[in-house]
Structure 1
Amino acid sequence: MRLHRNLCFAVIDGLHKIFNEGEYADKVIQSLLKRDKRWGSRDRSFVAETTYDIVRWKRLYAEIAEVKAPYDRDNLWRMFAVWATLKGIRLPDWKYFVNTPTRKIKGRFDELSKIRKFRESIPDWIDEVGIAELGEDTWTKEIAMQNEQAEVILRVNTLKTNKKDLQLKLQSENIETEFLNNYPYALKLKERANVFKTEAFKDGWFEVQDASSQLVADFLDVQPGMKVVDTCAGAGGKTLHIAALMQNKGQVIAMDIYESKLKKLKTRAKRNGVHNFDMRVIDSTKPIKKLYDKADRVLIDAPCSGLGVLRRNPDAKWKLEPEFLDSIRVTQQEVLQQYSKMVKPGGKLVYATCSVLPSENQKQVDKFLTSESGKDFTFVKDKKILAHKSGFDGFYMALLEKKK
């Protein structure tokens, strides 16, 4: 592979924003890809994947390059040189790469790869939490899988089409997919492609959604005609899936504390042909209280550490702090206590997170069930999904039923 100066500069600029200015990697990369209209798909792929790669392995590369935060541009070029050397890419004779010790880089990589926190490129505290909660063996496998690039998974919109027709439609647009066993709505791309430019996407035939995430709406056991509340709806990926399972009959109420996220749902719903939904901003306790004992189903896709989805958000491990983990556990319990009151007698509640830590998952459910608010609920079942076992995102979901 030959390195091109303008593409490498884009990567360095992106890394500077992510590492030194605290910007989110996905937003930075979106912005970088608009930089030069002449770039082809291969150029854009290089910028995106190289930036993500260096973000993912930041600790390992910084240790090999012997640089420390905050990273000036010389430091970032040194980390880039480590990335290129380990990929077997010949370094051009640019000033940034003068005296790059390629043999020493390979030696340091072999040496550091024996230590998990460097090999998997994670902060010490996350490594300690992972071992404490999952045990050495499980954590070692899980964090290794979290460093693999996530595959692109589509969820078919059953309001408009079916899996087979979607597959054929994408095939006509030169995108090959395959079915996944035990995931009734999922198609996996055989090769990465920009699916958002396809006619199938513009026509609302699918959404991009990881296979693990697709299981949540099914777990909620919705039926057409029900009143269902998605309490932490965000941009509405699961809201849309719930609406499709309800065949557009009944009512789905999408709630979130951020109005900006719900506005995205409005656009997506129009494309998906979903019209049985309402949106409510949680700007006080009133929207919640109005729904006490009214909902047949309530989904709490709770805010969490995101340690089950590091494959698609590699910069999250550098932004997370131990204090956040403590505060989010408090938030999770508060949300469970409050939002569960919307479930009517005989109704069901699903508590879900994209974390693999028991302290955010089954321990939160256990604590809730022994509380005053939880005494009216019974535990039905739960599902713990680890990335290294499923091949998809780490997830947790628990189904509770309110006594009649």
Structure 2
Amino acid sequence: MRLHRNLCFSVIDGLTLIFNEGKYADKVIQQLLKRDKRWGARDRAFVAETTYDIVRWKRLYAEIAEVKAPFDRDNLWRMFAVWATLKGIKLPDWKYFESTPTRKIKGRFDELSQIRKFKESIPDWMDEVGEKELGKALWSKEIEALNQQADVVLRVNTLKTTKEKLQTILFDLDIETEFVQNHPAALKLKERANVFTTEAFKNGFFEVQDASSQLVAEYLDVQPGMRVVDTCAGAGGKTLHLASLMENKGQIIAMDIYGNKLHELKRRAKRNGAHNIETRAIESTKTIKKLYDKADRVLIDSPCSGLGVLRRNPDAKWKLQPDFLDKIRKTQQDILQQYSRMVKNGGKLVYATCSVLPSENQNQVEAFLKSEAGENFTLVKDKKVMAHKSGFDGFYMALLERKA
């Protein structure tokens, strides 16, 4: 591979914003990709994937490069040189790479790869929490899997097409996909491609949604005609899946504390042809109380640490702080206590997170069932999805039923 100056400069500019100004990697990369209309697919892929790669391995590369935050541009070029050397890319004769110690880089990499927190490039506290909650062997496997690049997985919108039809449409555009076992609506891309520019996407034939995330709506056991509440709907990935499972029949009330996310959900619902969705911003507890005992099904896709989705959000490793974990566990239990009251007698509730930590998952469900609010509920089943076993994101989901 030959390095091109303008592409490398874009990567360095992006890393400056992500590491030193706390910007979100996905937003930064979106902006970077708009820089030059002459860039082809390979150029864009280089900028996006290289930026994500260096963000993912920040601690390891910084340690090898012997630089510390905050990183000036010279520091970032040194980290870039580490990335290129470890990828086997020949460094051009640029001033930024003068006297790069190639052999020393490889030796240092071999040495640091013996220590998990460097090998997997994670903060000390995260390594300690992971080992404490999952055990050394399981955590080692899981964090290794969470450092792999995420596959692109589509969820077919069955309100508009079928999996087989969509696969054919994409094949005609030279986008090859494959079915994913035990995921009825999933198509996995064989090679990465920009699917958002396709007519199929603009016509609402699919959404991009990880295979593990697709399991959540199915777990809720919805039927056409039901009243379903998605309590932490966000921009509506799971809400839209529920609409297709319900064949546009019945009512879905999509709620969130962030009104701007619900605006995005409305836009997506229109594209998807999902007509049974009503959005409600949670402005006070009154919004919740109005629905007490009224829902056949309630989905709590709870706020969480996001440790299960580090593959697609590698910068979360550096943004997440240990005190946030304590706060979010309290929030999770508060949400379970309040939102569970919307389930009517004989109705069902799913509590889900995109975390792999038991303290956010089964421990929260156990605490809820022992509480006064949870005494009328029973645990029907739960599912722990580990990235190292599934090949997809880490997730947890529990199906609870309120006694009739």
Q: Same fold (TM over 0.5)?
A: yes
Residue 58 (structure 1) aligns with: 58
Cα deviation for residue 138 of structure 1 reads 0.4
- Residue 25 of structure 2 corresponds to 25
Q: Secondary structure at the match of 1:249?
A: coil
Query: 2:381 is aligned with what amino acid?
Result: K
Question: Can you list the C-alpha shifts for 1:291-318, whole angstroms capped at 9, x where unaligned?
Answer: 0000000000000000000000000010
Runs of 4+ with deviation above 6 angstroms: none
3-state SS of 1:308 partner: helix
What is the aligned partner in structure 2 of residue 358 from structure 1?
Answer: 358
What is aligned with 1:317? 317
| Whole-Å separation in 1 of the counterparts to 2:46 and 2:189 | 19
Identity fraction in percent = 80
Q: 1:162, CA displacement in angstroms?
A: 0.7
Q: Matches of 1:324 and 1:230 in 2, distance apart?
A: 24
Q: Distance in 2 between matches of 1:63 and 1:154?
A: 37
Which residue number corresponds to residue 207 of structure 2?
207
Residue 72 of structure 1 aligns to which amino acid in structure 2? Answer: D
CA distance in 2, matches of 1:154, 1:109: 36
Q: Name the residue aligned to 1:180.
A: 180
2:272 aligns with 272
In structure 1, what is the Cα distance between the partners aligned to 2:72 and 2:251?
Answer: 53
Shift of 1:172: 1.1
- 1:195 and 2:195 matched: yes
| Structure-2 residue corresponding to 1:219 | 219
Determine the structure 1 residue equivalent to 2:151: 151
Give the counterpart letter for 1:41 in structure 2: A
Distance 1:62 1:173 in 2: 41
By how many angstroms is 1:203 displaced? 1.1
Following superposition, the deviation at residue 180 of structure 1 comes to 1.0
The match for 1:117 is: 117
TM-score, length-scaled by structure 2: 1.00
Structure-1 residue corresponding to 2:99 = 99
Q: CA deviation at 1:202?
A: 1.0
Separation in 1, partners of 2:152, 2:44 = 17
**Counterpart of 2:81 in structure 1: which amino acid?**
A
Structure 1 residue aligned with 2:285:
285
Distance (whole Å) between structure 2 residues aligned to residue 182 and residue 334 of structure 1: 33
> 1:173 deviation in Å?
1.2
- Displacement of 1:368: 0.3
Q: Give, in angstroms, the shift of residue 181 of structure 1.
A: 1.0
Relative to the length of structure 1, the TM-score reads 1.00
Note the 1:251-400 alignment, pairs <5 A.
Answer: 251-400=251-400
Find the counterpart in structure 1 of residue 12 from structure 2: 12
1:67 aligned partner, one-letter code: V
Query: Partner amino acid for 1:222?
Result: V
Q: Distance in 2 between matches of 1:324 and 1:181?
A: 35
- 1:159 is displaced (CA, Å) by 0.4
Query: 1:347 corresponds to which letter in structure 2?
Result: G
- Indicate whether 1:90 and 2:85 are aligned: no
Deviations 1:266-315 (A, max 9, x none): 11101100000100001111110000000000000000000000000000
1:402 aligns to what? 402
Alignment partners' CA distance in 1, 2:327 and 2:205: 39
Deviations 1:113-171 (A, max 9, x none): 01110000000100000000000000000000001000000001010111100100111
1:257 counterpart letter in structure 2: I
Question: 3-state SS of the aligned residue for 2:260?
Answer: helix
> CA shift at 1:265, angstroms?
0.6
Per the TM alignment, residue 362 of structure 1 is displaced from its structure 2 partner at its CA by 0.2
In the alignment, residue 241 of structure 1 is paired with which amino acid?
H
Q: Which residue in 1 is equivalent to 2:36? A: 36
Instruction: Measure the CA separation in 2 of the matches of 1:395 and 1:24.
Output: 22
Amino acid at match of 1:177: T
Distance 1:91 1:211 in 2: 38
SS in 1 for 2:39: coil
Give the aligned residue type for 1:22.
Answer: G
Q: Distance in 2 between matches of 1:224 and 1:77?
A: 56
Matched, 1:49 2:49: yes
Q: Which amino acid aligns with 2:383?
A: K
Q: Which runs of 5+ in 1 are unaligned?
A: none
Q: What is the CA deviation profile of residues 44-64 of structure 1, one whole-angstrom value per residue up to 9, with x for unaligned ones?
A: 000000000000000000000
SS of 1:373's equivalent in the other structure is: coil
Letter matched to residue 130 of structure 1: G
CA distance in 2, matches of 1:125, 1:400: 32
The letter for the 2-side match of 1:8 is C
Aligned to 2:232: 232
Q: Distance in 2 between matches of 1:218 and 1:43?
A: 38
The alignment of Structure 1 onto Structure 2 pairs a total of residues equal to 404
The residue type paired with residue 117 of structure 2 is: K
Distance in 2 between residues matched to 1:219 and 1:180, nearest whole Å = 17
The separation in 2 between residues aligned to 1:271 and 1:379, in whole angstroms, is 36
Within 5 Å, give how 1:74-85 maps onto structure 2.
74-85=74-85
AA in 2 matched with 1:54:
I
Paired with 1:280 and 1:80, the residues of 2 have a C-alpha distance of 46
Question: Using the alignment, how far apart are the partners of 1:260 and 1:254 within structure 2?
Answer: 13
Residues 87-115 of structure 1: CA distance to partner in whole angstroms, max 9, x if unpaired?
Answer: 11111111111111011000000100011
| Aligned-pair Cα RMSD in Å | 0.5
Q: Which runs of 5+ in 2 are unaligned?
A: none
